[in-house]
Amino acid sequence: YKMISEFTWPNHDLPSDKDAVKKLIECHGFQHDVAYGKTKIFIRTPRTLFTLEDLHAKMLVRIVLFLQKVWRGTLARLRYKRTKAALTILKYYRRYKVKAYIHEVARRFHNVRLMKDYGKHVQWPTPPKVLRRFEEALQTIYHRWRAGELLRSVPPEVLPQLRAKVAAMEVLKGHRADIGLQRAWEGNYITLKPDNPQTTGSFVPVANELKRKDKYMNVLFSCHVRKVTSMCMVCRHTGWVGKLLVVKVKPWEAKGEEVNRFNKVEDRAIFITDRHLYKMDPMKQYKVMKTIPLYNLIGLSVSNGKDQLVVFHMKDNKDLIVCLFSKEPSNDSRIGELVGVLAHHFK
């Protein structure tokens, strides 16, 4: 019964066990109902014994709950310590993985500036999951740096041609098999002697006079064409490029190309500057037949076959329909160059 008194639980500090028993009986007021022997205590009435038993039973429940609480607290503290240790290990492991990834990237890309391809062939290490988005940003930074290095190695006079090729690829890739990316883009083809050696000499004075008159700065494109005056076509929208709307015309839906209504071929030339589009007659010393301000050009339609059909759409709906052609080489496709140059200019 020592647990039912605060003087005897869990251990008493009295001089003897007999004194501890007396103190326990006196705490509950039963000192007049008991008698003490040398080693035993004698209880006079059963009520005292039953009361002590009830107090013992109640105290036992409280002690069991107390022990459970203490044990559960001990288990919780152990779990907390283990979890804290695991999180600490995980933090340092993640830090190690991040550092190892950064060191590996630095090791692999250490000398990319001295490589011929600026590290294009270098394989990126596999990043930890926490660095997936960081890897995407890092690769973007690297690709921008590599593109800058490549562009710095390109001669300044080639940069406009390169930008025009990029614009053509953005618009026509997947729509035409041959865009002409592998060859050099000359731009002003009329001045090239192989294209038309008989009449090329008369074009230069006309171009110089137009420059004096219209004050254009740059020649974007010039080429001999064959005029199409009768045509039935179906156009499908594919996307905007700056102010230019580029559409596709299926080659088998074009009828009457390269001939006029009298079933005769009309050789013409187009001369495009940064200000105007000129239609010329090469058989009459490149006489200007029509001058169209470039801001009137609202769209450009091209075919997706091997033919070089081009439709210049104007604000006044008076579209110019021509087929590009070249004599040397005869199969030289210039559609990509025309679209790329105009798209880059309008951008």
Quick one: pLDDT at residue 19?
73
Report the distance separating Cα 199 and Cα 326, nearest Å. 14
Backbone φ and ψ of 288, nearest 5°: -75, 120
Task: Please enumerate in sequence order all residues whose Cβ is within 8 A of that of 122, keeping only pairs 6 or more positions apart, or say none.
Answer: 108, 109, 112, 115
Quick one: pLDDT at residue 144?
93
Report the distance separating Cα 243 and Cα 261, nearest Å. 32
Q: What is the CATH number of domain 159-346?
A: 2.30.29.30
Quick one: pLDDT at residue 249?
44
Residue ranges matching CATH 2.30.29.30 in the chain:
159-346
Query: pLDDT by residue for the chain (347 residues), tens digit each?
Result: 666 665 666 666 666 767 777 777 777 677 777 777 777 777 777 877 777 777 777 777 787 888 899 999 999 999 999 999 999 999 999 999 999 999 999 999 998 888 888 999 999 999 988 888 999 999 999 999 998 888 888 888 888 888 898 888 888 887 877 788 888 888 888 887 655 555 556 888 899 899 999 889 989 999 888 876 544 444 444 444 444 444 444 443 433 333 444 456 688 899 999 999 999 988 888 899 999 999 889 888 888 777 788 899 998 888 888 888 876 666 678 888 899 999 999 88
End-to-end CA distance of the chain: 98
**In this structure, what token pair is assigned to residue 50?**
């039953």
Contact (CB, 8 A) for 329 and 335:
no
Pairing of strands 219-227, 235-241: unpaired
**In this structure, what token pair is assigned to residue 341?**
């140059």
Task: Please enumerate in sequence order all residues whose Cβ is within 8 A of that of 288, keeping only pairs 6 or more positions apart, or say none.
Answer: 206, 210, 278, 279, 280
Whole-model pTM?
0.58
